[in-house]
Structure 1
C-alpha cells in the first residue's frame, strides 16, 4: 500500500475535511479526493462519509486510522531526526494571547541556558483563542497556547497551567470604598467604580462576577483597551477597577501601586492549553518546544 496515500488518509481523518487536509499537505483538494478514492478502491471499502461540511470516517476508516497513524508518526520522527542538529536551525511558529505569550512562553523558549542548549528560530503570532486554533488547524502555526480546549482529532491539547484572577484597583478607590464596604464581600459595594476591560462584553469582569458573586456586573466598561498590560497601566493610574491575572499584576500589588479589592476563598481560575496538530509532536523541534513550555509551567502560579 502506498505510504503517500496512507499519509493523505490520516491527514483527512484528523482534519475532518478534504479542504483542510489539502491545505496541510500542500495539495489541491482534487488531488486529495483522488488519493482517497484510490485508497478506497484498493481496500474495496468506503473510508469516509461525505457531508455538507466535511467528512466523517466509516468504521473501517476509523480502524485503519488507529492502526496506521502511530506508524506514520514514527516514520515522520525518523525522517526528521536527521535534521535536528546544531547545523540546522528549525523555525517554530508559535501563536498565543499577547500578554501570556510575552510574559510566560517567550522567556521559557529564549532565556539562557535554553537559548544556548536548544537553538530555535521563533516566529510568534498573537490573537484570540478562536483565531489561534483556526490558524493552527490550517497549518499556519506549529504550537498554540489557547484558553479553549479544541475538539476533534486534528488538534491535540495538553493542560499547560491555570491562572488566578484578581479583582484590583488603585489604592485611592479602596480608600473611597472603606474597609467596611470591602469587608462585606458583595458586588453592590463595587457597583459605583469605573470598569476597565479588554472588550465591551467585559469578559474578565463578567467571569469573576459569575464565579464569585453569582451575578452579572451592572456597570459598563469605562475604559476598553485590548491588552491586559494596558488595562494594568490604567488601573495603576486610578482609572477604575479591573480583573487581571495574578502573574501579570503581582509586581504592582507587591509595590502597592494597586491593591486587591476582594479575596475570595476560591479565586476564579482560567486554564491554558498547549495545542499542536495531532502527529506533529513527532517532529523533534516541536516536541522540544512543547517539553520546554510544559517544564517551565510547573514553576508558574
Structure 2
C-alpha cells in the first residue's frame, strides 16, 4: 500500500475535511479526493461518508486510522531526526497560546533542554486552540497546549492546570465603585469603566460576566489588543478594566499596579490541556517533555 495515500488518509481523518486536509498537505482538493478514492478502491471499502460540511469516517476508516496513524507519525519522526541516534539532536515542536506558553511552558522546557540526560532542541509556535490542534493533528507539532479538549481518539489530552480569572483595573478606577469588592456586587456599577480585551467579542469579559454576574457586559471594548500581556500593560496604564488569568497579573496585584474589582466566592476557571497525537508518547523526547510539563504544572495551579 502506498504510504503517501495513507498519509493523505490520516490527514483527512484528523482534519475532518478534504479541503482542510489539502491545505495542510499543500495539495489541491481534487488531488486529495483522488487519493482517497484510490485508497478506497484498493481496500474495497468506503473510508469516509461525505457530509455537507466535511466528512465523517466509517467504522473501517476509524479502524484504519487508529492502526496506521502512530506508525506514520513514527516514520515522520525518523525522517526528521535521522537514523543516527548518537549524533542527532531531537527537536521538540510545541504550540500553544502565546501568553501561557511564554510565561509557563517555555521556561520549564528551556530548563529541560539544557539537561545532560537527553537534551533536545526546542521550537515553539503560537496560535489559538483550533490552529494548534489542527497543526498537531497534521504533524506540524509534537505537543500542543490548548484550552479545548480535542475530540476523537487520534489526539490524547491530559489536563495540565486550571487558571483563575480575575477582574482587575488600575486603582484609580475604584473611586466611585466601592461596593464592587463585595461578593454580591451588582455589575451595573462597572458599566462606566472602559473595557480592555483581546477581541471585539470580549471573550474573557463575557465569560466572567456570565459566570459571576449571570449577565452580559453592557459596554463594548474600548481598547482591543490581541495579547493578554498587552491587555495587562494597558490596564496598568489606566485604560480600563479587564479579566486576566491570575498567573499573569499576580505580580501586578501584589505591587498594586492593579487591584481586583470583584472577589467572587467561586472564581471563573479555565482548564489547559497538554495534547499529543496518540502513539507519539512512545517517542522518548516527546514523552520526556510531556512528563516534565505535567510535573511542572503541579506548581502552576
Tell me the equivalent position of 1:190: 190
1:175 Cα offset (Å): 3.9
1:238 Cα offset (Å): 2.1
Distance 1:258-1:289 versus aligned 2 partners, 3 A rule: same
Q: Distance in 1 between matches of 2:245 and 2:84?
A: 37
Tell me the equivalent position of 1:219: 219
Correspondence list, 1:1-301, <5 A: 13-17=13-17, 44-51=44-51, 54-66=54-66, 68-69=67-68, 72=71, 85=85, 87-111=87-111, 115-178=115-178, 180-183=179-182, 184-301=184-301
- After TM superposition, the score normalised by the length of structure 2 is 0.80
1:74 Cα offset (Å): 10
Q: Distance in 1 between matches of 2:222 and 2:11?
A: 47
1:271 Cα offset (Å): 1.4
Distance 1:227-1:63 versus aligned 2 partners, 3 A rule: closer
CA contact (8 A) 2:10 2:69 kept: no
Q: What do the CA deviations read for 1:116-162 (whole angstroms, capped 9, x no partner)?
A: 44422122211222222233333332222122223344433222221
Q: Distance in 1 between matches of 2:64 and 2:239?
A: 59
Which sits farther off after the overlay, 195-204 or 212-221? 195-204
Q: Distance in 2 between matches of 1:219 and 1:78?
A: 50
Q: List alignment gaps of at least 5 residues for structure 2.
A: none
1:267 Cα offset (Å): 0.3
Q: Distance in 1 between matches of 2:19 and 2:208?
A: 40
Q: What do the CA deviations read for 1:219-278 (whole angstroms, capped 9, x no partner)?
A: 222222221111112222222211110000111111222111111111001111222333
Q: Distance in 2 between matches of 1:116 and 1:213?
A: 51
SS at match of 2:223: strand
Q: Distance in 1 between matches of 2:153 and 2:266?
A: 34
Q: List alignment gaps of at least 5 residues for structure 1.
A: none
Q: Distance in 2 between matches of 1:298 and 1:56?
A: 37
1:181 Cα offset (Å): 4.6
CA contact (8 A) 1:84 1:284 kept: no
Q: Distance in 1 between matches of 2:229 and 2:31?
A: 47
- After TM superposition, the score normalised by the length of structure 1 is 0.80
Residues matched between the structures, number? 299
CA contact (8 A) 1:15 1:153 kept: no
1:26 Cα offset (Å): 8.5
Pairwise CA RMSD of aligned residues? 3.5
Q: Distance in 2 between matches of 1:65 and 1:135?
A: 17
1:41 Cα offset (Å): 5.6
